[in-house]
């Protein structure tokens, strides 16, 4: 890689001159424009990067300051700041002036200083994802958080915001930590993706900034944008009914964080009654050991084994999630039960449904869309001059879809 001496020799100037032009552009105004342009052209051609330490780690040259751009464009710093950093407020300037400032900024390699902007506005340009059970939560919930985080982060970055994961800190709950971060201007708002500790629920109600939950709320308090799993399970029951199934089994855990298990079980019972179908339940008992994917699959396998050993069994099994469906697949293989010839199987989430054999018919979760919608709503609330109205809680449901594969067929 070329160094300053190589560039200085080719440009016919001193090493000090090259160093100022490339590493301190805000101080380069004393040199002729032709010299500055020639040095930068040579540096770009030879692939020069500023040496950041004696160990050889390299960084690109520093961005010129806003003041340097303003001087070069012959405008005030305020004018340059509005045109480059707040384009929505630049309507009072002529198109020629706007183009002039932008061309100078592009030529000089100007980049907006986000940290300085945050300091001036007292905004963090960051939203927190509050995860209360960061250490003790069921591990099978981690894919749920990962998918939601991907949607949240994508939508936030499009709006110039960062997503920060906020967990428990020392003896503080995650929610208490989020409140502290807000008062220190490190967060502008929060997203709560799951169940909170009882002591944290009150903190959420009193949170001074914008907040939104992305799990089915237990009360009318607070704003919530969440997946409509009721719609997903309605599609499952209707699909099985259309295939001709009239006797199905619901297989899932007795309890699950956020009341998802009890809610989904009630929806399946209600929908099967509506279609005139019979539905029995095979409930996995609540056990402290059921904290990992392997343990949940093993518990579902044991429950399905008992189901398949009965003399009279159902023609379809609707599972709480794909992990439970995997346990059913294992039990079916061990008991000589064919899928879908002897029994149809459905899941929920569609994390890896296409890799099952046969492919699993399952509800494709809309949790990525939930994350995106939550980020967009939250940032709109943060930037709204009217603030957030908590007297009229938002309730927005995002519908999932049904991925029909080879695990369901007409009963024989």
302-324 residues labelled b (16+ CB within 10 A) or e (exposed): ebbbebbeeeeebbbbbbbbbbb
Task: Specify the pLDDT at position 289.
Answer: 47
CA distance 264 to 274: 15
Q: How far is CA 394 from the centre of its chain?
A: 20
Which of 252, 346, 381, 354 is closest to 304 using CA atoms?
252
Rounded to the nearest 10 degrees, how much is the dihedral formed by the CA atoms of 46, 7, 21, 80? -30
Contact 280, 250 (CB under 8 A): yes
What is the number of H-type helices and E-type strands within the chain? 15, 14
β-bridge pairing 278-284 and 224-227: unpaired
Task: Specify the pLDDT at position 298.
Answer: 92
Task: Specify the pLDDT at position 53.
Answer: 44
Strand partners, 401: 364
In the block, tokens 């506005």 appear at 121
Q: In what order do the strands lie in the sheet with 316-319?
A: 278-284, 247-253, 316-319, 344-349, 361-364, 401-403
Superfamily the domain 126-227+371-398 falls into: Response regulator (3.40.50.2300)
CA distance 218 to 257: 12
Contact 249, 318 (CB under 8 A): yes
Return the axis-axis angle of helices 95-108 and 77-85, rounded to nearest 10°.
90
229-365 shares the fold of 126-227+371-398: yes
Residue 61, φ and ψ in degrees, nearest 5: -60, 150
CA distance 173 to 199: 8
The set of residues, in sequence order, having a beta carbon less than 8 Å from that of 57 and lying 6+ positions away, is 51
Long-range contacts of 7-13 (CB under 8 A, 24+ apart): 7/39, 7/42, 7/43, 7/46, 7/48, 10/42, 11/35, 11/38, 11/39, 11/42, 13/39
β-bridge pairing 361-364 and 401-403: antiparallel
Task: Specify the pLDDT at position 34.
Answer: 80
> What averages of pLDDT result for each successive group of 10 residues across the chain (412 residues)?
76 84 76 82 77 45 75 88 78 88 86 55 79 57 76 90 85 83 87 75 77 77 88 98 96 78 93 96 70 83 93 88 96 96 96 93 94 93 77 86 97 92
Q: How far apart are the first and last CA of the chain?
A: 72
Task: Specify the pLDDT at position 58.
Answer: 45
* Sign of the torsion angle spanned by Cα atoms 168, 169, 173, 178: negative
Domain residue spans of the chain: 4-113, 126-227+371-398, 229-365
Q: What fold, for 229-365?
A: Rossmann fold (3.40.50)
Q: How far is CA 215 from the centre of its chain?
A: 14
């Amino acid at each position: 890689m070329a160094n300053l001496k190589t560039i200085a020799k080719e440009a016919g100037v001193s090493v000090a001159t090259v160093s100022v032009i490339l590493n301190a552009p805000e101080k380069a105004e004393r040199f002729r424009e032709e010299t500055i342009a020639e040095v930068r052209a040579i540096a770009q051609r030879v692939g020069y990067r500023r040496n950041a330490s004696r160990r050889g780690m390299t960084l690109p040259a520093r961005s010129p300051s806003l003041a340097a751009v303003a001087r070069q464009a012959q405008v005030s710093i305020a004018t340059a700041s509005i045109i480059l950093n707040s384009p929505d407020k630049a309507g009072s300037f002529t198109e020629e002036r706007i183009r002039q400032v932008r061309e100078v900024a592009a030529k000089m390699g100007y980049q907006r200083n986000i940290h300085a902007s945050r300091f001036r506005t007292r905004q963090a340009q960051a939203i927190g994802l509050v995860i209360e059970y960061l250490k003790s939560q069921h591990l099978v919930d981690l894919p749920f958080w990962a998918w939601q985080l991907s949607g949240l982060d994508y939508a936030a970055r499009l709006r110039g915001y960062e997503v920060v994961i906020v967990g428990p800190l020392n003896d503080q709950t995650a929610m208490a930590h989020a409140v502290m971060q807000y008062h220190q201007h490190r967060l502008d708002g929060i997203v709560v993706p799951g169940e909170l500790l009882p002591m944290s629920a009150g903190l959420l109600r009193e949170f001074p900034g914008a907040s939104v939950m992305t799990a089915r709320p237990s009360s009318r308090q607070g704003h919530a944008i969440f997946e409509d799993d009721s719609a997903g399970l309605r599609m499952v029951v209707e699909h099985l009914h259309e295939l001709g199934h009239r006797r199905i089994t619901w297989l899932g855990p007795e309890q699950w964080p956020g009341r998802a298990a009890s809610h989904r079980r009630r929806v399946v019972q209600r929908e099967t009654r509506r279609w005139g179908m019979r539905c029995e339940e095979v409930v996995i008992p609540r056990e402290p050991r059921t904290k990992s994917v392997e343990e949940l699959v093993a518990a579902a396998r044991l429950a399905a084994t008992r189901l398949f050993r009965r003399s009279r069994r159902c023609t379809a099994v609707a599972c709480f999630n794909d992990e439970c469906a995997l346990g059913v697949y294992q039990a079916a293989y061990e008991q000589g039960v064919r899928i879908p010839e002897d029994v149809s199987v459905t899941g929920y989430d569609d994390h890896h449904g296409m890799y099952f054999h046969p492919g699993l018919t399952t509800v494709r979760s809309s949790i990525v869309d939930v994350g995106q919608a939550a980020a967009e709503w939250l940032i709109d609330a943060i930037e709204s001059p009217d603030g957030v109205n908590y007297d009229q809680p938002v309730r927005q449901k995002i519908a999932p879809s049904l991925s029909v594969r080879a695990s369901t067929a007409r009963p024989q």
